[in-house]
Amino acid sequence: MNQISNSGADLIALQEVETDKYYNYFLPALKAQGYEGCFCPKSRSKTLPEEERKHVDGCAIFFNKNKFGLHKEKYIDYSQLAIANAEGADDMINRVQTKDNIGIVCCLDIKEPSHGTRHSKLVILNTHINWDPEYSDVKLIQNIMFMNEVEAFVKEIKGSYSIPMVVAGDFNSTPDSAVIEFLIKSQISTEHHEFHGLKYHGFLKKANGECLGNKNGCKHFKHGFKLKSCYSEDLLDKLRYTNYTYDFKGILDHIFHSKDTLRTVGVLGGIDVDWLKRKQNNRLPQRPLPLRSLPINFRVRTH
């Protein structure tokens, strides 16, 4: 909590927050510091008795209530979306529906818009994508469903693709993955090798509406937002790791923002790996960093 408080962030996105810890620790502690919050537990919480339900983790968003007011929120349940979109896509049930990952999207009213900006709202997204490296297709489908739901949400609030947007999450995906390619390039080939040739074409065709075709006849699924990572290529040397364990050392957590309406003016640097290597375990969690994932933080301004 000290690390969160000392960051001075106006927006906070957390993953793997237990339901009980959200309501009885994070929310009251951050409310006392001037924040309000939204929380979405993983879908299995709906089927569990109350005592077990409080241990189910989820995604949380907190915002500085002096700068923002909650306009609308939406919870995204990938398991239920898989069921709803299973027609013509057998593996939506076989592989995607069995994973109870979730996402949350909030539209915030900006109480005092910056001088010269025409925007009075900001959208913030937070998600936790499936962890398993063997299920890269599931990660990609979850991410596609996520952005598809976000597009519908923006239409509901009568926004446009240029609305200021921050996308944060534990994507369990490295910077060279299809998940990150889709977010940054705004499209992904329906024949991408990370789909593993599995049967998702019915869903992709239904969700996409019109596909983008190229001269080779290859189809692409797309989203309408223009996003960039706050840790662009020239800043990646500042963040070599968000996870540093025995069996994996690399970047799995990411923050993106709308390219045309926000610009990065500062980022939090990464951990001193030389310091970590001198520690006995050479991994995280590690005192004084009792976290499996390292925090990432950035500062933006409106164009």
Phi and psi, residue 24, nearest 5°: -110, -5
Catalytic residue among 170, 176, 234, 247: 170
Residue that has been written with the tokens 């991408």 in this structure: 192
Pair 62, 12: CB distance under 8 Å: yes
170 is catalytic: yes
Classify residue 108 by burial, with Cβ atoms within 10 Å: 0-12, 13-18, 19+.
buried
Please, is 275 exposed, middle or buried when counting C-beta atoms within 10 Å of its C-beta (0-12, 13-18, 19+)? exposed
Query: 3-state SS of 33-81?
Result: CCEEEEEEECHHHHHCCHHHHCCCEEEEEEEECCCEEEEEEEEEEHHHH
Residue 258 CA to residue 107 CA, distance in Å, equals 14
Q: For the purposes of burial, counting CB atoms within 10 Å of the CB of 187, is it exposed (0-12), middle (13-18) or buried (19 or more)?
A: middle
Task: Report, as residue numbers or ranges, the catalytic residues.
Answer: 170
